[in-house]
Amino acid sequence: MSFIKKLFGSIVKKGGEEKENTERELPFAVMIFTLLAASGISPYDSWKRLRKLSFLPFFKKEAEELVRQVEVLGKDPLTVMLARSQTTSSKLYRSFLGGFVSSVRSGGKMVDYMKSQLKAIFELRSINMNRSIDKIVTLVEAYSVLLIVVLCTYILFVVFASSNVMQLVSSSSVSISPSMSYIIAFVIMPVLSFIFIMMAHNVQKSAFPDLKDFYKKAIPFVIGGFAVIGVFALLPSLLQSMGPIGMPEITTIALVGSSLPLAIQYARIAKINYNAEESIPSFIRDITESQKTGLSPEKSIVQATKRKDYGPFSKFLDLIRSQIEWGVPLRRTFENMKLKIKSWFVIVNFAMVVETIEIGGNSIQSLEILSEYSEKERELQVNRRELLKPYVVLALIWSVLIAATTVIVALTTTMMTSLVSTDLSSVASIAIQGQLRVFSVGIIIQCWISGFFIGKISEGNFGAGFKNAALLAATAYVSLIVSQVLLGSFFGSQIVPANIS
Distances (CA, A) of 15 to 226, 303, 331: 36, 45, 34
Residues 367 and 414 in one domain: no
Query: Does 24 map to a domain?
Result: yes
As a whole-number percent, the residues of the chain with pLDDT over 70 amount to 82
Q: Is the pLDDT of residue 11 over 80?
A: no
Residues 235 and 301 in one domain: no
Which residues are within 8 A (CB) of 261 and not within 5 positions of it... i.e. 6 or more apart?
Answer: 221
Cα(439)–Cα(453) distance, integer angstroms: 20
Give pLDDT tens digits for 128-145.
777 777 788 888 888 888
**In the listed set 342, 376, 410, which residue is the last one of a domain according to the structure?**
376
Query: Does 126 map to a domain?
Result: no
Query: Does 113 map to a domain?
Result: no
Amino acid at position 90, single letter: S
Task: Tell whether the torsion through CA atoms of 21, 22, 27 and 30 is positive or negative.
Answer: positive
Query: Does 77 map to a domain?
Result: yes
Nearest to 279 by CA among 298, 255, 305: 305
What pLDDT shows up at residue 7? 43
Contact 255, 247 (CB under 8 A): no
Q: Which domain holds residue 79?
A: 11-108
pLDDT bin (cut points 50, 70, 90) of residue 415 is: low
Contact 310, 283 (CB under 8 A): yes
Which residues are within 8 A (CB) of 303 and not within 5 positions of it... i.e. 6 or more apart?
Answer: 286, 287, 290, 295
What pLDDT shows up at residue 131? 76
Residues 292 and 170 in one domain: no
Q: Is the pLDDT of residue 182 over 60?
A: yes
Q: Is the pLDDT of residue 171 over 50?
A: no
Cα(183)–Cα(8) distance, integer angstroms: 24
Contact 147, 451 (CB under 8 A): no
Query: Does 127 map to a domain?
Result: no
CATH of the domain at 336: 1.20.81
Residues 151 and 250 in one domain: yes
**Mean pLDDT of all residues in 161-166:** 50
Contact 195, 454 (CB under 8 A): no
Residues 481 and 396 in one domain: yes
Which residues are within 8 A (CB) of 343 and not within 5 positions of it... i.e. 6 or more apart?
Answer: 207, 208, 273, 274, 276, 277
Query: Does 175 map to a domain?
Result: yes
Nearest to 162 by CA among 408, 417, 384, 360: 417
Say which range, 188-192, 361-365, 433-437, has the weakest mean pLDDT.
361-365
Say which range, 7-21, 77-91, 117-131, 408-422, has the weakest mean pLDDT.
7-21
Residues 48 and 96 in one domain: yes
Q: Which residue has the higher pLDDT, 467 or 499?
A: 467
Cα(33)–Cα(114) distance, integer angstroms: 7
pLDDT bin (cut points 50, 70, 90) of residue 448 is: very high
What pLDDT shows up at residue 5? 45
Cα(14)–Cα(256) distance, integer angstroms: 36
- Say how many CA atoms lie within 13 Å of 231 toward its Cβ: 10
Question: What DSSP state is assigned to residue 172?
Answer: -
What pLDDT shows up at residue 138? 83
Residues 146 and 241 in one domain: yes
Residues 371 and 482 in one domain: no
Query: How many folded domains does the chain comprise?
Result: 3
Question: What DSSP state is assigned to residue 167?
Answer: T
Contact 318, 305 (CB under 8 A): yes
Residues 148 and 247 in one domain: yes
What pLDDT shows up at residue 4? 44
Reduced to 3 states, what is the DSSP secondary structure of residue 446?
A: helix
Q: Is the pLDDT of residue 10 over 60?
A: no
Contact 449, 187 (CB under 8 A): no
Residues 305 and 281 in one domain: yes
Query: Does 122 map to a domain?
Result: no
DSSP string across 181-221: HHHIIIIIHHHHHHHHHHHHHHHS--S----HHHHHHHHHH
Residues 342 and 238 in one domain: no
Residues 86 and 192 in one domain: no
Q: Which residue has the higher pLDDT, 415 or 446?
A: 446
Reduced to 3 states, what is the DSSP secondary structure of residue 51?
A: coil
